[in-house]
Structure 1
Amino acid sequence: MRRAALCLIAVIAAVFALVAVPGSGVGEQLVSWISHQPPQDAARGSSTAARPDGGPLAPAGAPLRVAIGAMITPERTVHWYEGLFDYVARAEGRPLRIVQRRTYEEVNGLLLRGEVDLAWICTGAAWQIADRLAPFVAVVPRVRGETVYYSYLVVHAGSDIRDLDDLAGRTVALVDSLSLTGRRVAWDLLERAGRDPDRFLGRWYYTHGHDYSIRAVARGLADAAFVDSLVYEDLLVRDADEVRGLEVAARYGPFPIPPIVLAPSVDRETREHLVRVLTGLHEDPAAEKLLHELGVERFERADPRQYRQ
């Protein structure tokens, strides 16, 4: 029995070592396995649900193709956002198709190639492609009176990690190579301090979801994680068990909030109609309820200058 226990401990230690290799795909697989949600590209077909206000289904047309960056797990993405975009699609008289990809780079590619009509993407991802989107048309959510968000350094409650300086030699969960709050903030601050992140940190890996990163800390797969403040605050309200036993050690920002970007391939009339629909949702009682469930007060037209580096 003792030998079996020692073997099990050795196996767990070996797997953990693999998990924490910088950029390791093993890390992504294990975090996904622990969450019971295997890595996948997911696409949702036309919605058949009734309208939020109980009205008749809109006539079918070409699907409104909506991509949502992998800021949270695929299942949680659909659960949180499908109702909102279904409402927008019906206002267009079209069925809804939600398209998901594992990385921010892949979602950016969908926008650039015109394979989706709009995409809700991370600010870091928007900064990467804004100059290649002509015109750059986007709307942004107003949340708790602001159109900004922050990067949270999340740790176990009682951890001795209080700031970047305390991450020397530690294992850190990051979200995506293009994630502003889930990677870039940490990298930029460390490099400005004259530190090479790859040498300063003990180990790091990508989880491809802010909630995955939070879960990695909660389950002991990382000492800390850099995550989107909006996701963390939403989990506090929607799924408090996910953040139980965790705390925010430090906050960095503010930064321009993640935008919903319209693809340049969409014709001008449709693009402007989509902007009007999104920015007018708060005036419709049924749609306002959907916004409230997301913690969004309203959508506003974005200032393109905020999303160009």
Structure 2
Amino acid sequence: MNRALHISVLFALLAAAAACREPLPQVTLADTETPPSSSAEKRLLRIAIAPMESAERSSRHYAEIFEAVGERMGMKVQFLHRQTYGDILALVQHGVADAALVCSGPFVRAEHEFGAKIIAVPLRAGTTSYHALLIVSAAGPIRRLDELRGRSFAVSDPLSTSGLLYPADLLRGSGESIGSYFSRVIYTRSHDKSIRAVADRVVDAASVSDIVFDRMVQQEPAIASKLRVILRSPPYGPPPLIVHPHADPALTARLQQALLHLHEDAQGRAQLAKIGLERFSPAEAVNYDAVRRLDRGAWGDQKR
């Protein structure tokens, strides 16, 4: 579990892992920074953002929120981006990031592998949950999952709940896998790219987060007319902000309090509203058992 592996995982290996339950892709920290040592550098709050959306969109959506949090804490924020969820988890595991905003699937993996803890979850439209959406082109005839056999499919990341774990679970019940059911699988590395791949008819279908889908439709209304939602998953625990179990407890507590109180002034509410959030909440009442079941179905009890 403590050995670091490759940061650049071939797409073919990812496809094989998704279909055949081979070990999860590993990462190396060769290109990451050594944790800062000087007193000035220690004032940095290092936040990793998982690629649920492309780096450009993630930076645009979350920069204001975490910079506001940093101001409340008297700290300068450094954003860390990587290409895969596994890479982001490695930053937390090895102390390169103080906290990371991740999807529910990566959290469950991190919880299993090194005991990651949630410090806050986003509240959206009055709920701390989200759904996976199975989408196809609105210009085509497909309206059911069984019509997708032999078609092409886009996956955002092999650790993604909505991008892979949910559709894999749908197929597992009939003895199929992502690799056996679809004729071609591509890895896009973010939900917005999967959505665009379907809208542009690069692939026939994808399973994506409704958080990213709703945000894209709000920002680009024309894209909605190009897409058809044919399945909606049960609710899953939302993308949480996680920390290592041995992270600095004082820093973790300050970060948590800054997030939980961000909505209490007009500026904070406006920053949250820009990305469709109402506030951050404690994670005690959030249930990730459904995601844990999907994770076990895909990977069993194996660790990377």
The verdict on a shared fold, with TM-score over 0.5 as the criterion, is: yes
2:81 is aligned with 1:100:
yes
> Hey, what's the Cα distance between the residues in 2 that align with 1:134 and 1:192?
30
> Hey, what's the Cα distance between the residues in 2 that align with 1:93 and 1:129?
29
> Hey, what's the Cα distance between the residues in 1 that align with 2:218 and 2:286?
32
> Hey, what's the Cα distance between the residues in 2 that align with 1:191 and 1:111?
31
Q: CA deviation at 1:265?
A: 4.2
Q: Are the structure 2 counterparts of residues 150 and 305 from structure 1 closer, same or farther at C-alpha, using a change threshold of 3 Å? A: closer
Equivalence for 1:296: 277
> Hey, what's the Cα distance between the residues in 2 that align with 1:190 and 1:169?
13
> Hey, what's the Cα distance between the residues in 1 that align with 2:32 and 2:201?
28
Q: Are the structure 2 counterparts of residues 190 and 149 from structure 1 closer, same or farther at C-alpha, using a change threshold of 3 Å? A: same
* Native 8 Å contact 2:118 2:240 kept in 1: no
Equivalence for 2:242: 261
Equivalence for 1:62: 43
Q: CA deviation at 1:243?
A: 3.8
* Native 8 Å contact 1:65 1:97 kept in 2: yes
2:68 is aligned with 1:87:
yes
Q: CA deviation at 1:133?
A: 4.5
Q: Are the structure 2 counterparts of residues 206 and 304 from structure 1 closer, same or farther at C-alpha, using a change threshold of 3 Å? A: farther
After TM superposition, the structure 1 = structure 2 runs for residues 208-219 of structure 1, keeping only pairs within 5 Å, are: 208-219=189-200
Equivalence for 1:200: 181
> Hey, what's the Cα distance between the residues in 2 that align with 1:22 and 1:243?
33
Equivalent of 1:156 in 137, 153, 173: 137
* Consecutive unaligned residues in structure 1, runs of 5 or more: 1-19, 25-40, 44-58
> Hey, what's the Cα distance between the residues in 1 that align with 2:13 and 2:228?
24
Q: CA deviation at 1:200?
A: 1.6
Bigger Rg over Cα: 1
> Hey, what's the Cα distance between the residues in 2 that align with 1:68 and 1:295?
17
After TM superposition, the structure 1 = structure 2 runs for residues 135-284 of structure 1, keeping only pairs within 5 Å, are: 136-284=117-265
Q: Deviations over 1:118-150 (max 9, x none)?
A: 111011100101134446232111111111111
Q: Are the structure 2 counterparts of residues 268 and 68 from structure 1 closer, same or farther at C-alpha, using a change threshold of 3 Å? A: same
Q: Are the structure 2 counterparts of residues 22 and 262 from structure 1 closer, same or farther at C-alpha, using a change threshold of 3 Å? A: closer
Q: CA deviation at 1:174?
A: 0.8
> Hey, what's the Cα distance between the residues in 1 that align with 2:172 and 2:57?
33
Q: Are the structure 2 counterparts of residues 135 and 151 from structure 1 closer, same or farther at C-alpha, using a change threshold of 3 Å? A: closer
Equivalence for 1:34: none
> Hey, what's the Cα distance between the residues in 2 that align with 1:23 and 1:244?
31
* Native 8 Å contact 1:87 1:287 kept in 2: yes
> Hey, what's the Cα distance between the residues in 2 that align with 1:157 and 1:242?
10
Secondary structure in structure 2 of the residue aligned to 1:149: coil
Q: CA deviation at 1:273?
A: 1.4
> Hey, what's the Cα distance between the residues in 2 that align with 1:220 and 1:22?
24
Secondary structure in structure 2 of the residue aligned to 1:139: strand
Mean Cα deviation higher: 159-168 or 208-217: 159-168
Q: Counterpart of 2:65 in structure 1: which amino acid?
A: L
Q: Counterpart of 1:188 in structure 2: which amino acid?
A: D
> Hey, what's the Cα distance between the residues in 1 that align with 2:201 and 2:146?
20
Aligned residues: 259
> Hey, what's the Cα distance between the residues in 2 that align with 1:146 and 1:224?
27
State the TM-score, normalized to the length of structure 1.
0.78
> Hey, what's the Cα distance between the residues in 1 that align with 2:193 and 2:113?
30
Q: CA deviation at 1:260?
A: 0.9
* Native 8 Å contact 2:133 2:209 kept in 1: yes
Q: Are the structure 2 counterparts of residues 42 and 77 from structure 1 closer, same or farther at C-alpha, using a change threshold of 3 Å? A: farther
Aligned-pair RMSD on alpha carbons? 2.4
Q: Are the structure 2 counterparts of residues 193 and 217 from structure 1 closer, same or farther at C-alpha, using a change threshold of 3 Å? A: same
Q: Counterpart of 1:303 in structure 2: which amino acid?
A: E
Secondary structure in structure 2 of the residue aligned to 1:306: coil
> Hey, what's the Cα distance between the residues in 2 that align with 1:278 and 1:307?
21
Q: CA deviation at 1:275?
A: 0.9
> Hey, what's the Cα distance between the residues in 2 that align with 1:211 and 1:150?
15
Q: Counterpart of 1:236 in structure 2: which amino acid?
A: V
State the TM-score, normalized to the length of structure 2.
0.79
> Hey, what's the Cα distance between the residues in 2 that align with 1:23 and 1:221?
19
